[in-house]
Chains A and B, each alone.
Chain A
């Protein structure tokens, strides 16, 4: 009896500490990634990285100025496609939607969220690159834009639903029309949540590589127009990392640090905004 009790107690301690080890391991992975990128990326990061074009093959030095600007342009295009559709779609679901159609929209949104990013690249290729016979920034932006929609819809709908019904009723009772109520009362009350969602979805697509490989392609120089191939940070990291030159690898680390820094800052910023919003609201 005593032996059995001792066995159960030791099993208890061993298994519980194992779960702790699991949690500790997972958390340490993030710090490991951060530390590694800070160390290696930081060593190779310099001012030229932000201001120079990539050096020709065989020469050392150079930077990724065109890729940084390119990523920015792609984000802009993607936001133009994804944010209006996403946010207004979310407004529809929360404020105007009925039963069946809303269910269909929600279901499709979930479906779209699960589509592998490489498949999104094929989609943009077939509808934009094939007809235009041209790899272009437009195609890349469209692929990323479609990827932004699901998260934008979901977060917008959720934050609008979080707005108390009383606010709507108050506005309507004062004779405000429905759209004015939504636009001037409900949306401002939920703006924190909506902006958070938008930031999260921008951060998500900022690191996407796969949909850009055969839509925006890449470019060693400044892109000369919206319908021309354009460089982006994630694709540059990929090309440089699998390339054979040590100097390329160094550049890839630096670019990785810049990209990860942007993505993590956007994430932390968005989440802090949400938690502060909650604290203020209560």
Chain B
């Protein structure tokens, strides 16, 4: 009599379905399944994204093939689409942004990790991370109404006067230009370079600094010849991450680059970027070929940023493993 409840508890429902239901009743399997489905849906969404971009750009891919990347005319009326001016604009504005942002970012990161007292360093990093949170449309707003007037009045005439013999600084001054896009992008990506580089620099062992200083190096020599080279891989990773952001940045660039699909050597001339042309022309794209040409541009942009991001990710994985092995 006494063991009846025990046997009752031990009785397992027979059959496959019965067992499944029994396990479900515990709840663990259900929870596992639900969270698994959410995790799997992340993969599903990403796969679907790539698939949609690919399938919806078949028309121009078949019509133009590789020529799409080399064509210099973008003429929706006659249905002739070449992406070169946009690819050029995207690459040049991003390169310009890196040129300005890397010295500024690495310099600031060195200051925050090597010189600033911890409290100031933390507070400053906090402010810089807020800078990364400012929406890009606000950078565009300030770009139009603050940066471009500054560039048009003192900066560009000055550059033309002093460096005008270079093809980079020739031609009429409009204000909206590749240079404006580069400057806005630079300001937008500096926070990413600083916050990653600072952490990498802080992770450099103190012994490295002490050894250099002990040999009679000045603070700057120890920083520049010992600490920064030690952290160089991580710094490169931060630069790659920043580059990926610059390539995909849409609003701020659209608002200041001038939106003119021409390839010009001068930084004063207006240009166009991949993201900007998508933003401007997508809603008014008439006809499947036009729309799909824009979607193919989106695919190009996607692959470009994925490539750069992947490189950065690899660098980070490689360095952290090295770091772990050393520690």
Which residues of A come within 8 Å of B, CB atoms?
8-9, 11-12, 15-16, 18-23, 25-27, 29-30, 33, 36-37, 84-86, 88-89, 91-93, 95-97, 101-102, 104-105, 108-112, 114-123, 125-127, 146, 149, 153, 177-180, 182-183, 203-204, 206-210, 213-214, 217, 234, 237-238, 241-242, 249, 252-253, 256, 259-260, 263-264, 267-268, 271
Contact = CB atoms under 8 A, between A and B. Distances in A.
Contacts of A11: 218, 220
A26 B190 contact: yes
B137 interface: yes
19 contacts: A12-B218, A22-B111, A26-B105, A36-B142, A85-B41, A96-B31, A105-B43, A111-B306, A115-B248, A115-B306, A116-B250, A116-B305, A118-B275, A118-B278, A122-B53, A179-B32, A204-B133, A241-B141, A252-B141
Given A92-B36, A203-B133, A238-B137, A182 B191 contact: no
B240 to A, nearest CB: 11
A238 B301 CA distance: 22
Contact of A259 (B30, B135, B306): B135
Contacts of A119: 49, 53, 248, 298, 301-302
A210 B133 contact: no
Contacts of B171: none
A123 B52 contact: yes
Contact of B134 (A116, A210, A263): A263
Given A22-B103, A118-B279, A242-B144, 10 more contacts: A16-B115, A22-B108, A23-B111, A30-B131, A110-B309, A120-B49, A177-B28, A209-B135, A237-B138, A267-B133
A210 B275 contact: yes
Contact of B144 (A18, A37, A183, A241): A241
B269 interface: no
Contacts of B56: 126
B214 interface: no
Interface in B194-241: 194, 218-221, 223-224
Contacts of B302: 115-116, 119
Contact of B135 (A21, A23, A234): A234
B215 to A, nearest CB: 13
Nearest to A153: B42
A111 B307 CA distance: 10
Contacts of B77: none
Contacts of B257: none
B189 to A, nearest CB: 11
Contacts of A116: 247-250, 275, 301-302, 305
A19 B27 CA distance: 57
Nearest to B132: A267
A208 B34 contact: no
B49 A115 contact: yes
B155 interface: no
B138 A33 contact: yes
B323 interface: no
Contacts of B27: 177, 179-180
B32 A146 contact: no
Given A12-B220, A209-B251, A213-B283, A179 B30 contact: yes
Contact of A108 (B43, B191, B223): B43
Contacts of B146: 36
A271 B53 contact: no
Which 4 residue pairs across A and B have the least CB separation, nearest first? Answer: A207-B135, A116-B248, A22-B107, A179-B31
Q: Which of A19, A30, A264 has the most CB of B within 10 A?
A: A19
Nearest to A95: B35
Contacts of B165: none
Nearest to A260: B138
Contact of A237 (B48, B131, B137, B275): B137
A32 to B, nearest CB: 8
B45 interface: yes
Nearest to A117: B250
A116 B94 CA distance: 14
A16 to B, nearest CB: 6
Contacts of A26: 104-105, 108, 128, 131, 190-191, 194
B267 to A, nearest CB: 21
Nearest to B294: A122
A19 B110 contact: yes
A112 B249 CA distance: 15
B138 A118 contact: no
B111 A19 contact: yes
B138 A29 contact: no
Contacts of B251: 209-210, 234, 238
B180 interface: no
Interface centre among A84, A88, A206, A217 (most CB of B within 10 A): A88
B218 A115 contact: no
A91 B31 CA distance: 10
